[in-house]
Homo-oligomer: A and B are copies of this chain.
Amino acid sequence: MTHVANEHSERDVPAMTVQRIPLYLRCLLEAQGERLTVLNSKQLGDRAGTNAAQVRKDLSHLGELGTRGIGYDVDDLVVHLMRRLGITESRSAALVGFGRLGSAFLGYQGFAARGVRIVAVFDTDPDKVGTEIEGLIVTSIDDIADAVEREGIELAILTVPAASAQKACDALVASGIKAILNFAPCTLTVPDDVSVRQADVAADLQILSFHLNRASSEGYSR
């Protein structure tokens, strides 16, 4: 039930495992809310929509966690995963692109609870700059370097049109940002030390369409 945080090199953690850490954390926080103190790998797998073997394999990449035959101490594992995700203290993020999608994210209360606070919002449109929204003032993207330094911004959420995305990305990189979540449907060119995650909603819909197509063309389900 103890976890020995036998730190591997994080470089060893497979990308698919990294993708599931936030999922496990969310499920563990739900279990905490239900006052559960221990979960075994089957229980965590059921909550996460995966299975016991996958849970054990994923968590094995993160150290020697859990106790055989008993399970994982929920509180310990929450702390461990939050530490691995680097969200024991919240990260500051910039929102770049104050359009409809950006506005939706600014109004969403769920980020702060999950370790990321949007502390600044940028746009290029002079008509938008100066607008107050959710306690923030929309700032010109020309002033991004100052804001990044002043606010300790580490992440950026990019919600600009595809045609403007590389230019906005370049400004972010020049200001020292090392992690970008890109909603524009385009491939960004960044230096090796910058992480980009692509969030392309239309692509997600196309992937679902692939599954529909497969189910119908093969006459079987799923």
Residues of A within 8 A of B (CB): 9-11, 18-19, 21-23, 25-27, 47-49, 84-87, 91, 93, 99-101, 103-105, 107-108, 110-111, 114-116, 154-155, 157, 178-181, 185-188, 192-193, 195-218, 221-222
Contacts and interface: CB of A to CB of B under 8 A. Distances in A.
Contacts of A188: 49
Contacts of A209: 85-87, 91, 115-116, 154-155, 179
B215 A18 contact: no
A80 to B, nearest CB: 13
Contacts of A27: 187
A26 to B, nearest CB: 6
Contacts of A111: 201-202, 205
B199 A199 contact: yes
Contact of A185 (B26, B205, B208, B215): B26
15 contacts: A22-B200, A22-B203, A23-B203, A26-B186, A47-B187, A49-B187, A85-B209, A87-B209, A100-B108, A110-B185, A111-B201, A155-B205, A157-B201, A178-B212, A180-B208
Contacts of A157: 201, 205
A181 B201 contact: yes
A86 B222 contact: no
Contact of A206 (B48, B114, B192, B195): B114
Contacts of A213: 10, 84-86
B100 A211 contact: no
Nearest to A16: B16
A186 to B, nearest CB: 8
B155 A212 contact: yes
Contacts of A200: 22-23, 26
A110 B201 CA distance: 10
B22 A202 contact: yes
B205 A26 contact: no
Given A85-B210, A157-B205, 10 more contacts: A22-B206, A91-B212, A99-B104, A101-B104, A110-B185, A115-B206, A116-B205, A178-B211, A178-B212, A181-B204
